[in-house]
Structure 1
């Protein structure tokens, strides 16, 4: 990729985030220009991988994917080609991902770990335990949190701050899972731990059965409550960030965390319709996050991380073959 192509790649990545995530687009506006552009480039690569894996166009309803292993191979091949400097405007999302990885010196392990999450889905993997659930959340979101922290200037060897960044990714994915139980079931997927379902008297093969809805709502609320714990932990990493980055992170935490809070407040409703944060709620969190960012060193002291929280792997993790 030539330097001259960078503005075009950034522009296409900006279009991608505008189409794919209103919440993340809103929060990204708070970054300084350089960080904002790099965040868009990283998002564009992650979004493209996700769309290829799920047969989507910037999110939305999952489609039948035909040969999921072929789609996984495509993701890996295009990422490898881009990281080797062989992609440009012919494959802008992947070229943009390689560009931001080079600019920020993002360790390759995090990109590999994200792709491992797509491998799990391609193989029809399902979580059996809470640990399985959190490990999956790491692969599809926690690794992204680590990469985003590095984009914001966190050193790749600052493990304590990367743990907090991972926690935010876990919180976002847990919120997604709690919100999308019905949608996932319609697509033939279930990310609720099988042992939780069995404990609640729910058949893991048919969790949306009408007679099981009250019990399923309770399990859904349990996932949303987990999201809140990881969101709270993530906030304690913001004192290490520049003001504008902390503002963006706290805004995203509030906006996305609002989804989990709505699910926790009424999990039965979450099974009936897709919950979201309104424009007014987003604006409220933008304003509130600015105040929180200004006071972050007093609000979110760098206390030791709760030892009962799940710990991310310290080196590249492959579990799809386990």
Structure 2
């Protein structure tokens, strides 16, 4: 056999893999609070969101000291953005397309985890959350308690009982109240103040539900317990019909009564706060309480026009809160709320941990 034939029969020589030199161009993304954005820019963008999304809360937030105020704005920005993503809306406007809510909620959790890990999210509101979380010690458990409320909406969930309503109000507002207390410097072992902060969030949500019965009905939602509707002989889907106007007013009044108890209980927790934080919280409690009380005063006509507190009335309520903060001696409610943070959390935790979100890409168009 020729030398050429022998060469052709030889096996190819094995080549050992070589370690590549570290790239001088591609480098791992550094982890940094705020996703690498400047804190000042995050604060300014966050304030723009609160100024457009909630004028009442924006007015009350001005009463905080500068550092707390900025942290409140950044926390609000995350809450507002999560709400908008889940509802397919823009800055709390009209509800958008309600399909694929589960995918949108999944994206909220993924972006939140990235923000808490200090990774960039390409979304100012989530980067702002990462920034404030690093400053005050907010955790994924705090965030998960809020995100669980969006998951309930994604499941087209409806409360059957008062306990169901309590759980929903905790997820969408009570848990935010707890995070807000953390932003104001309340420590994890100060359970009493955290409980009262939760009360304030519950009060806010009860006022919102009472005010927005018609808006929620148009979106195919109802947050009144089914047991309440059955007691009033209101057929499914008939809540906003004219022949149920008095029953509807009665149910709203029940919500407002609970709101009032929680708001008064929340005021008890302001005693331990610094003066400016106490003033701001009392002002917010006064404004939101007035929203609920105005719904009750209007009775069946409460949904002819959206209840809005005029600027002069807000100024009066803020001024009243100033003197309340100076006295620092809030009166307790005639009866403490039936719903307690401990009982709600027990129910929430017994339902088990929230499943880890998969990292599959979102559908086209999201």
Instruction: Tell whether the structures are fold-level matches, with TM greater than 0.5.
Output: yes
Q: Please give the residue correspondences for 1:23-42 in structure 2 after superposition, counting only pairs within 5 Å.
A: 23-42=56-75
Give 1 or 2 for the bigger CA radius of gyration: 2
Q: More displaced, 106-115 or 12-21? A: 106-115
Deviation at residue 71 of structure 1 after TM alignment: 0.7
Query: Which residue is equivalent to 2:268?
Result: 236
Deviation at residue 8 of structure 1 after TM alignment: 0.5
Deviation at residue 118 of structure 1 after TM alignment: 0.2
The whole-number CA distance in structure 2 between the counterparts of 1:107 and 1:300 is 33
Mapped pair 1:246 → 2:278: yes
Q: More displaced, 70-79 or 170-179? A: 70-79
Deviation at residue 232 of structure 1 after TM alignment: 0.5
The whole-number CA distance in structure 2 between the counterparts of 1:105 and 1:83 is 10
RMSD of aligned Cα (Å): 2.0
Mapped pair 1:124 → 2:124: no
CA deviations 1:53-108 (Å, max 9, x no partner) are: 011111122122321111111111111111121126x2110011111111001243
Structure 2 residue runs of 5 or longer lacking an equivalent are 1-33, 355-366
Query: Which residue is equivalent to 2:364?
Result: none
Deviation at residue 309 of structure 1 after TM alignment: 3.5
The whole-number CA distance in structure 2 between the counterparts of 1:254 and 1:94 is 29
Alpha carbons 2:261, 2:337 under 8 Å: kept: no
Q: TM-score, normalization: structure 2? A: 0.83
The whole-number CA distance in structure 2 between the counterparts of 1:219 and 1:314 is 26
The whole-number CA distance in structure 2 between the counterparts of 1:4 and 1:64 is 31
Q: Please give the residue correspondences for 1:190-209 in structure 2 after superposition, counting only pairs within 5 Å.
A: 190-209=222-241
Deviation at residue 317 of structure 1 after TM alignment: 3.8
Deviation at residue 117 of structure 1 after TM alignment: 0.3
Mapped pair 1:299 → 2:325: no
The whole-number CA distance in structure 1 between the counterparts of 2:292 and 2:244 is 21
Structure 1 residue runs of 5 or longer lacking an equivalent are none
Deviation at residue 2 of structure 1 after TM alignment: 6.1
Query: Which residue is equivalent to 1:54?
Result: 87
Q: Please give the residue correspondences for 1:1-322 in structure 2 after superposition, counting only pairs within 5 Å.
A: 1=34, 5-87=38-120, 90-296=122-328, 298-300=329-331, 306=336, 308-312=338-342, 313-314=344-345, 317=349
The whole-number CA distance in structure 2 between the counterparts of 1:310 and 1:16 is 31
The whole-number CA distance in structure 1 between the counterparts of 2:224 and 2:130 is 33
Q: TM-score, normalization: structure 1? A: 0.94
CA deviations 1:9-47 (Å, max 9, x no partner) are: 111000000010000000000000000000000000000
Deviation at residue 158 of structure 1 after TM alignment: 1.1
CA deviations 1:259-315 (Å, max 9, x no partner) are: 00101212312222210111011100111111000111x3357x9x93734334447
The whole-number CA distance in structure 2 between the counterparts of 1:240 and 1:98 is 27
Deviation at residue 7 of structure 1 after TM alignment: 0.5
| Number of corresponding residues | 318
The whole-number CA distance in structure 1 between the counterparts of 2:107 and 2:330 is 45
Q: More displaced, 115-124 or 64-73? A: 64-73
Alpha carbons 1:224, 1:264 under 8 Å: kept: yes
